[in-house]
Structure 1
Amino acid sequence: MKEATDIVMLALARWDGPYSSTAFSLAKELARKNRVFYIDNPFTLKDVATNLHKHQIQSRLTPLLTGRHVGKQIYNDNPNLINIRPKAVIPINFFPYGKLYSYLSRVNNHVVNQALRRAIREYDIEKFIFINSFNPFYLQDVTEFKPELTVYHCVDNMAESKYIGKHGKFLEAEAMREYDVTIATSKKLYEMASQYTRNAFCLPNAADFKHFQRAVYEPLLRPNELDGLESKKIIGYIGHVDFRIDYELLNKLSRAHADKIILMVGPEHESDKDKLERLPNVISTGKKPFEELPAYLKFIDCAIIPFLRNDLTASIYPLKLNEYLAAGKPIVTTGFSQDLEDFGNTIRIENTPDSFIRGVQEEIVTDSDQKREQRIQVAGHNTWTARVEAFWDMVSPYIKKEQPVYG
């Protein structure tokens, strides 16, 4: 047995955000054997003022306004997973890079540093490793805390994001240069990270295997949106409905399969809502809790990933891929990422609208128990438990102490 260690993780994705994230999935698995202190991506003063009525703000109001009571246990049944809530910071992303931005960035970093100092005192944190998951804006210098290891977690192509990429693409490159280790979630991101550090590794995304297997083995109730549609085949997508989607392809698919239901489960990006044709066979559910997703997957006959093929999507290894497979579902996807090729004939990759449309039909018609078992078996090798074991194998040689951490 290896020795357990505390982990401090700062992530861009908050644990109670609108959709599941790589960072929090990794944190939950790490927390099975280690204390994990999951630091909120700080809310700004503007966030607090404009969203005061929302639960995310109300549940954090005391730490946001006072900087006190920063720590809170996330789940009643797991004392190892603790949310750290910093005081609200100044909104500065709209400033151009320069002296004012740099000064305010230091002010904001001081706020987050204070939250970590308080957490270290209150929870008696002595030795820890620090993971920054795709948030190079804060805790830019953690040397005062003397972590045994610093890990940068690259989960997306930051340079392709108009908002966070404005300053983030430079800050992320600096973080990769300075941190002990960088782990990337896709082959493309690994190639990018390797430009800045020799200590880069590829750690792909995974699935909460047991959670999504509920779609196979549990008698889950049919979601309300699908009542009265028992005779219809369902083509389904689960995830964020946003700028990554090829709406032209999706609309053609909806028209070509007018006899089937096109089910879109997930929050819709406001600026993209008009791009999806609201045909009679298209159902958009909006955001759904993570706990309810297996019930939707259970009644899907073919799962799709209709992403655009561009520089942003080329770096994506989508969480939904292994979630679909864990539920035993056929998958038709565009060839947006080289990571898809590792799945061989378990998934179907099509790059023209016509072949995508035909592929969906063929996958529905030819589905079988044997194919479902094959998909589940593949997903069983891509679990967060397996990823955490690989994580420790990657980082243990770089930890600054005599004995490696638990793995």
Structure 2
Amino acid sequence: MNGEAGGAQGTDLVVLSLERWDDVWRRNQHLVAGLLQRDPGLRVLFVEPAVDPLHDLLRRRRPRLPRGLRDGPALPGVEPGRLRLFEPAKWLPRRLDHRVDQQLAAVTVRAARRAGFRSPLLWVNDPDGAAVLQATGWPALYDVTDDWLLADRSPAETARRAQAEAVLLERVREVVVCSPALARSKGSGRPVTLVPNAVDLAAYRTQQVRPGDLPAGPVALYVGTAHRDRLDVELCAATAQALSGVGHLVLVGPVALAPEDVHRLEAAGALLLGARPAVAVPGYLQHADVLLVPHVVTPFTDSLDPIKLYEYRAVGRPVVSTAVAGFRDAVDARTTVVDRTVFASAVVDRIRSSPAVVPGPGETPVPTWTDRVGQFAQVLARVAGGPGDGRPSG
């Protein structure tokens, strides 16, 4: 090791992320940025998901080429060069090349060496990152944010993920989970640390002007990635139709839906605005009449700790949600949890009863990312100083 985490000089950290570093900030970016601001001796190599040019071609999309190793964006209070990004490529599908994960691990290790990282800590968010741990033996933590073993995937992909996760749960020094459900499932055979999600409270409670692309009139708003793993597309279409003549259903966030699902939503009257920069998102929430959580209720969604739970609380607007984890246990009087059979009518009722003037931000206590960064720094310190032989297994 070239330093200790959480305050000493010279700590290097390789983060294997499930998402790219972009303008749509998620858990990893909030935590990494906070850790860099907290510890001036920390350097981070943030490894993004591999691009898949062949898959793009087969889907008749313009293939994305890997951006490789590069400097990260400027962050307040962080010197240039302390955040590096690395985007590799997966050139062949796993069914044709069974060594894809080992090859990705090898290029990741080379990128770390090019960045000057010799004995870093390893933070695994993507279970496929088990190959990096096996190749290096770097002191590691596994941050579990989604239970992909419960997602609707092919048997082959689920089995591959299960094998990778078994390696991680056995070999990492620390396991972090974001929800009580994950604490129960992943903590059944070993200790885990619960570090839930949070919100940038100052950003969400600083009033912004109404975004120009919100339609005139009442708005029922969903913020988050539109993906069938979470979003109930049929329920959203029904809600958009029920709002006809009353208001508008607006979805803000990356759209990861099939073209037929997008067409169905738009035909029903929903407006899909797509991804918006993190700094602009609070304005959409603040100027919505009702905030929505039209999620499917499945074992997978029950494993989650939705970041929107904290964002919605921070702005203090009325919420209508299906009975999903986090929201179904809410004691906030502003939150209405209903069955999907009456969801659309509940949204219409809340639109009609919402005040015409946007009130001030909510006053409900909400945990901040600063709180979570402190917790994560303690985990990293334990990883840096914990037991382990440090030997690669392959």
The aligned residue for residue 74 of structure 2 is 75
The aligned residue for residue 208 of structure 1 is 200
Give deviations 1:12-40, integer Å, cap 9, x for gaps.
Answer: 211027x4322222212222123322122
> Does residue 1:255 correspond to 2:228, yes or no?
no
The structure that is helix-richer by fraction is: 1
The answer to whether the Cα contact below 8 Å between 1:301 and 1:364 also exists between their aligned partners in 2 is: no
> Does residue 1:162 correspond to 2:148, yes or no?
no
The answer to whether the Cα contact below 8 Å between 1:92 and 1:105 also exists between their aligned partners in 2 is: no
The aligned residue for residue 390 of structure 2 is none
The answer to whether the Cα contact below 8 Å between 1:350 and 1:356 also exists between their aligned partners in 2 is: no
1:212 to partner: Cα distance: 2.5
The answer to whether the Cα contact below 8 Å between 1:333 and 1:356 also exists between their aligned partners in 2 is: no
Give deviations 1:175-230, integer Å, cap 9, x for gaps.
Answer: 1221111111112222221134x22122111122223233xx23x2432342xx1x
Helix, strand or coil for the counterpart of 1:170? helix
Give deviations 1:37-96, integer Å, cap 9, x for gaps.
Answer: 212223345379789978x747x2xx3xxxxxx24132165336523325534333345x
Unaligned stretches of 5+ residues in structure 2: 1-5, 388-394
The answer to whether the Cα contact below 8 Å between 2:45 and 2:83 also exists between their aligned partners in 1 is: yes
> What is the alpha-carbon distance in structure 2 between the residues aligned to residue 86 and residue 262 of structure 1?
35
Question: Residues 91 and 184 (structure 1 numbering): CA distance in 2 closer, same or farther, change over 3 Å?
Answer: farther
Helix, strand or coil for the counterpart of 1:267? coil
The code of the aligned residue for 1:24 comes to: Q
The answer to whether the Cα contact below 8 Å between 1:90 and 1:108 also exists between their aligned partners in 2 is: no
Question: Residues 252 and 49 (structure 1 numbering): CA distance in 2 closer, same or farther, change over 3 Å?
Answer: closer
1:302 to partner: Cα distance: 0.9
The aligned residue for residue 182 of structure 2 is 189
The aligned residue for residue 130 of structure 1 is 122
Paired-residue identity, %: 19
The aligned residue for residue 307 of structure 1 is 295
> What is the alpha-carbon distance in structure 2 between the residues aligned to residue 52 and residue 277 of structure 1?
22
The code of the aligned residue for 1:110 comes to: A
The code of the aligned residue for 1:172 comes to: E
The answer to whether the Cα contact below 8 Å between 1:31 and 1:80 also exists between their aligned partners in 2 is: no
TM-score, normalised with respect to structure 2: 0.80
Give deviations 1:224-275, integer Å, cap 9, x for gaps.
Answer: 342xx1xx21111111122022233223322333211111112323413244
Unaligned stretches of 5+ residues in structure 1: 64-69, 403-407
The aligned residue for residue 67 of structure 1 is none
Q: Which moved more, 1:393-402 or 1:382-391?
A: 393-402
TM-score, normalised with respect to structure 1: 0.78
The answer to whether the Cα contact below 8 Å between 1:72 and 1:83 also exists between their aligned partners in 2 is: yes
1:364 to partner: Cα distance: 6.3
- Out of 340, 343, 346, the residue aligned to residue 358 of structure 1 is 346
1:142 to partner: Cα distance: 5.8
Helix, strand or coil for the counterpart of 2:225? coil
Give deviations 1:106-158, integer Å, cap 9, x for gaps.
Answer: 23322222112222x2xxx46643211124246432674x64x4110111121
The aligned residue for residue 115 of structure 1 is 111
1:317-332 matches, within 5 Å, as 317-332=305-320
Helix, strand or coil for the counterpart of 1:399? helix
Question: Residues 112 and 52 (structure 1 numbering): CA distance in 2 closer, same or farther, change over 3 Å?
Answer: farther
Give deviations 1:300-336, integer Å, cap 9, x for gaps.
Answer: 0110110011122111211122122222222211112
